[in-house]
A and B are shown apart, each in its own frame.
Chain A
Amino acid sequence: EPEVTQTPSHQVTQMGQEVILRCVPISNHLYFYWYRQILGQKVEFLVSFYNNEISEKSEIFDDQFSVERPDGSNFTLKIRSTKLEDSAMYFCAIRTGGVYGYTFGSGTRLTVV
C-alpha cells in the first residue's frame, strides 16, 4: 500500500478554471511538498509545508497557487486560474524514514485545454 495517495490521477480542465489536487498520506507527517514535472522535463520543487504553514516556495509558486491541510490529514494544492503552461504531472511528497527518507505519490496528471 502506497504511503501517499494522490487524487485524481488525471484531470482535464478548461483554461481559467480552478483545480484542487489532493494528497493523502497514510500516517502523520510534518513535512509535505509539492513538485511539478512538465512532460519530458525534470521534477521541479513548488512548495514545502511544515507544521501547517508554507516553509518555502519556488518562483513557480505564484499567487495562482495555494496549499492547505483542510482537515489535518489531506494536503491540497489549489491552482486558482489554470493556464495552458500549468499542464504537468504534480507530485506530492512527504518526509519519511528518518533523516533521508522522502516518498513521492504517484502523481496527478493535469491537462489544461
Chain B
Amino acid sequence: QQQVKQSPQSLIVQKGGISIINCAYENTAFDYFPWYQQFPGKGPALLIAIRPDVSEKKEGRFTISFNKSAKQFSLHIMDSQPGDSATYFCAARRSDSNYKLTFGKGTLLTVNP
C-alpha cells in the first residue's frame, strides 16, 4: 500500500515534443506529490509538486495533472529539450509519517536533438 508505481521505465522524445510520465498510488493518506529530476552523479532535485486538492499545476514547461479519484498523477514536459534528459522520479509523502517520501522507480528520459 506504500508503493508508488511509475511508468514508463524509459522514454525517448524528439526535441520540441511532449514527454509524459505517469504514476499511480494506493495509499490515500499521501498528501503531497512531488516530482524530482536527477542528473547522473547528483541528488534528486525538486522539479514541481502538487497537493491532492488541486487537479493541475503548471510551472513553465512542466505540468502535473492529478486525478484523485483514480489515484494517478502525471508529469508533462512541453517543448522537451536535450537538457531535460535525466531520470525523473515521482514521489508521494505522508505528513503523518514524518514527511518521508516514497519514490517511484524512475523514468529515464532522453530527448534527442
Number of interface residues of A (CB under 8 A): 24
Q: Contact partner of B99 among A31, A91, A104, A105, CB < 8 A?
A: A31
Q: How far is the CA of A35 from the CA of B43 in the complex (A)?
A: 10
A sample of 29 inter-chain contacts (CB < 8 A) reads A31-B98, A33-B100, A41-B106, A42-B89, A42-B104, A43-B91, A43-B101, A43-B103, A45-B100, A45-B102, A48-B100, A50-B98, A91-B43, A95-B99, A99-B32, A99-B95, A100-B34, A100-B49, A102-B34, A102-B46, A102-B99, A102-B101, A103-B46, A104-B43, A105-B43, A106-B41, A107-B41, A107-B42, A107-B43
A106 B103 Cβ-Cβ under 8 A: no
Q: Which residues of B come within 8 Å of A, CB atoms?
A: 32, 34, 36, 41-46, 49, 89, 91, 93, 95, 97-106
Majority secondary structure of chain A interface residues (helix, strand, loop or mixed): strand
A56 in contact (CB, < 8 A): yes
Q: Across the two chains, which residue of chain B brings its CB closest to A48?
A: B98
In this complex, the member of B49, B91, B99 whose beta carbon has the largest number of chain A beta carbons within 10 angstroms is: B99
A-B interface, 10 closest residue pairs, ranked by CB to CB distance from nearest: A104-B43, A48-B98, A43-B103, A42-B105, A56-B98, A42-B103, A55-B98, A45-B100, A106-B43, A107-B43
Which of A43, A45, A50, A106 has the most B CB atoms < 10 Å from its CB?
A43
Q: Is the CB of A106 within 8 A of B105?
A: no
Q: Smallest Cβ distance from B50 to chain A, in angstroms?
A: 10
Q: How far is the CB of A11 from chain B (nearest CB, A)?
A: 14
Measured between C-beta atoms, what is the minimum distance from A44 to chain B in Å? 7
